[in-house]
Structure 1
Amino acid sequence: MTPPLSARGTTVLRAILVGISALAIVGPALVVANAPVIVHPPKRVTLPAGRIVPQAEVPEVEPVRLVDLTPEDARAFNATVPFSTDPNPAARPFRFAGGPDDLARATDCMAAGILYEAGDDTLGERAVAQVVLNRLHHPAFPKTVCGVVFEGQDRATGCQFSFSCDGALTRWHPTDDAWRRAREVAAASLSGAVFKQVGYATHYHTDWVVPYWQSSLDKITAVNTHLFFRWSGWWGTPPAFGRHPETVEPVIAQLADLSDAHKTGAALAEADAALAEASIAMGFGAATEAASTPATAPVDSDTLLVTLPRNQAADALPALAAQACGDKPFCRYMAWTDGTKVAPSLPLDPTQTASLGFSYLRDRASGYEKLLWNCRQFKRADVAQCMKVQVTMTAVPPPVVAASTSVPATTELNGVRRKPATAVPVPGSTPVPSAPK
């Protein structure tokens, strides 16, 4: 039989049990509180070898394909890329030389580009506007402001500014004040204002992504969270930016709800096309195809289809039309530079319409006379003489893309990513409320 514990033994046993209980509670708490910090190494970034494009070869404008990195890893990698120590001269001032309608279209294209790319942030908008102007003067990009901003708008992949093909224009509309401020920045940039800090940069991206094209370009400056780049070698120097832009700006159908200039332009272009179709459909018959000599083929008593003489001067076309029409009070005269493209039947197909070189319409009963040139074939100092239908750009509705929180390495992202949904807005700014694409 076990003898009973003494009072002292009971006390000792109780103390031992209390100590064990305390260690069972305090011990794990100390381990948790002093747990070692596990540092995950940043994901390895593998970019293609950088290449300096020789002067004899125009560099390729690559789609914006991003490395599969978290924003934190991308920022860490971007911080390791040094800024170029080469000179960073300011770009030359640019002043738009087109007519009032074309200036209005260029201004609104620029305003849309800088607002949807940079948000309602004047500093960021000025930086993006300078990149658009730099591209305008570089032979690797389109020759109009609207062409640069909406390059690739009809493709699901490949557009250079993502808002133009990811549906942003239909998902979000700026406030009147934001649109006014963006138009003010755009108007200044088209009137000689220069944002010196970005120099001759033609590319940019936010610091939380890493595009594969980065390895072939020089990092030259940062504006807020955006990093700006120019091509390495000769193509990033001032002499490479000597291309003269065109002064006839296209109509962008996507901007019709936002811009009166593009709404009016689209309506005029459609009206011109409708009038052309109507005038063609009224009594046109078959055209006599020309041989080696100029041919004038009467389709009806008031309508003529013409193949122009080879190397015909643009300024001589009105006289040719007047001679062919004679004293007719009503006369339709349409001319092609390529006899093989004269319409054999009516109505005209798109190829025949696009290849039309010159048109003349006279209606003395209503006091109407109209001459139009295809300005891609005949250069005109007065852009009002150009066939507007020839410069209309119609966007294909973009496919609906499901939002994703990660970017696979093989996904091609169209353009520069804007502020992510989790980004903290810049004080006083109105970021675009859409997920990055």
Structure 2
Amino acid sequence: MPSSQTPPAPSTDAGVSPLLIGLLALIALVAVLVPALLVANSPHVIVHKRPPVLISHRVVPQAELPPVEPVQLQAVDPDDARAINASVPFSTLPNPAARPFRLPGAADSRARAIDCLAAGVYYEAGDDTVGQRAVAQVIINRLRHPAFPKTVCGVVFQGSERRTGCQFTFTCDGAILRYTPTAAAWKRAREVAELALGGSVYKAVGHATHYHTDWVVPYWSASLEKISEVHTHLFFRWAGWWGTPPAFNRGYAGVEPNIPQMARLSGAHQGDAGTLLAPELTENGEPVDPEAIPDAAVPAPLGATGADNNSFAVTLDRTMNPEAFAALAIRTCGERTFCKFMAWTDAKQTPKQLPPSPAQSAAMSFSYLRDQNMGFAKALWNCQQFKRPSPVQCMRAQLPATATPPPAAAPVVAGDTKAIGPVPLAGIRKKSGGADQAAPAAPMVDKPQPSPTPR
């Protein structure tokens, strides 16, 4: 049964004075306010996940061509990158505008150049006319500089055969294959390209050959002179003579290569005029990384002990995926400016010395030729041995020459003044001195295949 007694009231005499309670409250308040004030008034400190490592600033002498560094970014947060970039001062030296550039050449080559430049400005600057004009000027500046290829497409797609070696990231990270501009955006990009290739100059970037967005830090950013800023892009030129107007003195090659990656955007990039190598695909659709090929699989140059250290004659593993032939060639050629890679699946046909015989040439399974001075790299397969998705990847069919002994020369008879020459072809006649005479046959000469005009 519950108790009816009222419970006693709690005692108020706890032995703690109001003065002590107030003192404790004051101490607690100070403990909160002091750290807050220290944090609010302390200087801002940038904390990096990994300390940036920048290429030291060095003026490359005129006698030495400056290296073109691959695009490699520091592992820093975007906010830290902006602070680092802001700490790099702008150059106080003059920033003269570049000379106008007017694209020469045939209509088909001009169309390829315009579309390559349009792709460059769109994928690098988005649908922003001002940013696109700045990027277009950098590409034209590179075209005129001895350190870069001598075609518009060669500049834009330089290093695109390597996942880590491209100069414009959209050419090797798959962006050009994943994202397609709208018809209106592509039209605007082409208009910017046509203006730039028709003599329009974007003065703000001067003779800049490099740029990056302000939320990334490339390794080379401290080695060049920062000269201007356009929206979120920072523009740089080489220090010393290589960044001055006289250094931009190289002529245009005159013939633009076909770019397989451009075929989905441009009808002008479908043909067989010096195709620049695009990343090859494996059966599962992933790019073949040349750096993933082991050192043991890389052959030595055929002329390693002679004068030619840039030519390779290789016997391919019959079990190797044909899609990986190009990656093997790129890995084998390494950093060579010029390289010729020829490969056979039949070891009996692989030559021991170059040039190969006509029969060996007809049996060749794959070839790769690189000439970085002209922005040219081309891979071709023997399509009688390996099916390819496009005929531009096929070698020209060659018939092995049969060994036919030359005809015996007619004996020279004393007193015979008739000139000894080739037997005339029947049915071909020409006039000489008013009389019809049989025309001598023209000697048959193997003409080399056309190649881009040298710089």
**TM-score normalised by length of structure 1:** 0.60
Q: Deviations over 1:106-165 (max 9, x none)?
A: 000001111111111111110000000000000000000000000011112211001101
Distance 1:266 1:235, change over 3 A: closer
Instruction: Note the C-alpha offset of 1:215.
Output: 2.4
Distance 1:272 1:129, change over 3 A: closer
1:67 aligns with one of 74, 82, 102: 74
SS at match of 2:228: strand
**Does 1:88 pair with 2:95?**
yes
Instruction: Note the C-alpha offset of 1:284.
Output: 4.8
Q: Deviations over 1:308-360 (max 9, x none)?
A: xxxxxxxxxxxxxx96459xxxxxx5524xxxxxxxxxxxxxxxxxxx25xxx
- Separation in 1 of the partners of 2:54 and 2:452? 43
* Paired letter, 1:285: T
Distance 1:124 1:33, change over 3 A: farther
1:188 aligns with one of 195, 214, 224: 195
Contact 1:142 1:151 (8 Å CA) reproduced: yes
SS at match of 2:61: coil
**Does 1:204 pair with 2:211?**
yes
Q: Deviations over 1:224-282 (max 9, x none)?
A: 111000000000000000100111000000111111111356799976887952xx44x
Match of 1:31 in 2: 32
- Separation in 2 of the partners of 1:114 and 1:219? 20
Match of 1:129 in 2: 136
1:175 aligns with one of 182, 192, 195: 182
- Separation in 2 of the partners of 1:209 and 1:256? 31
Match of 2:108 in 1: 101
- Separation in 2 of the partners of 1:297 and 1:10? 136
- Separation in 1 of the partners of 2:83 and 2:184? 36
* Paired letter, 2:65: V
* Paired letter, 1:174: P
* Paired letter, 2:110: L
Match of 2:252 in 1: 245
Contact 2:91 2:225 (8 Å CA) reproduced: yes
Distance 1:256 1:334, change over 3 A: farther
Contact 1:252 1:266 (8 Å CA) reproduced: no
1:139 aligns with one of 138, 146, 161: 146
Contact 2:163 2:172 (8 Å CA) reproduced: yes
Contact 1:69 1:209 (8 Å CA) reproduced: yes
Instruction: Note the C-alpha offset of 1:67.
Output: 2.4
- Separation in 1 of the partners of 2:135 and 2:219? 20
* Paired letter, 2:32: V
Distance 1:256 1:87, change over 3 A: same
Contact 1:287 1:297 (8 Å CA) reproduced: no
- Separation in 1 of the partners of 2:224 and 2:392? 44
Instruction: Note the C-alpha offset of 1:218.
Output: 0.6
Distance 1:222 1:375, change over 3 A: closer
- Separation in 2 of the partners of 1:74 and 1:135? 26
Match of 2:446 in 1: 335
**Does 1:154 pair with 2:161?**
yes
Instruction: Note the C-alpha offset of 1:72.
Output: 1.4
- Please give the residue correspondences for 1:312-391 in structure 2 after superposition, counting only pairs within 5 Å: 324-325=441-442, 335-336=446-447, 356-357=448-449, 373-374=450-451, 376=453
Structure holding more helix per residue: 1
2:261 aligns with one of 254, 268, 272: 254
Contact 1:151 1:159 (8 Å CA) reproduced: yes
* Paired letter, 1:248: V
Match of 2:383 in 1: none
Distance 1:196 1:271, change over 3 A: same
Distance 1:323 1:72, change over 3 A: farther
* Paired letter, 1:232: A
CA RMSD of aligned residues (A): 4.1
2:232 aligns with one of 220, 225, 246: 225
User: For structure 1, which segment, 101-110 or 265-274, has the greater mean C-alpha deviation from structure 2 after superposition?
Assistant: 265-274
Q: Deviations over 1:70-120 (max 9, x none)?
A: 111111111111111111000000000011000000000001111111111
- Separation in 1 of the partners of 2:28 and 2:55? 52
Larger Rg: 2
Distance 1:84 1:263, change over 3 A: same
Distance 1:236 1:323, change over 3 A: farther
Greater RCO structure (CA 8 Å; 6+ sep): 1
Distance 1:12 1:247, change over 3 A: same
1:112 aligns with one of 119, 134, 137: 119
**TM-score normalised by length of structure 2:** 0.57
- Separation in 2 of the partners of 1:235 and 1:67? 25
Distance 1:217 1:271, change over 3 A: same
Contact 1:71 1:209 (8 Å CA) reproduced: yes
Structure 2 gaps of 5+ residues are 1-6, 276-379, 381-389, 407-420, 427-438
Distance 1:288 1:158, change over 3 A: farther
* Paired letter, 1:176: A
SS at match of 1:205: strand
- Separation in 1 of the partners of 2:119 and 2:269? 12
Contact 2:98 2:201 (8 Å CA) reproduced: yes
- Separation in 1 of the partners of 2:243 and 2:422? 53
- Separation in 2 of the partners of 1:110 and 1:150? 10
SS at match of 1:180: helix
- Separation in 2 of the partners of 1:176 and 1:264? 23
User: For structure 1, which segment, 60-69 or 75-84, has the greater mean C-alpha deviation from structure 2 after superposition?
Assistant: 60-69
Contact 2:97 2:203 (8 Å CA) reproduced: yes
Identity rate, percent: 53
SS at match of 2:236: strand
* Paired letter, 2:446: A
- Separation in 1 of the partners of 2:62 and 2:110? 32
* Paired letter, 2:70: P
- Separation in 1 of the partners of 2:422 and 2:258? 34
Match of 1:350 in 2: none
2:221 aligns with one of 214, 236, 241: 214
- Separation in 1 of the partners of 2:224 and 2:76? 20
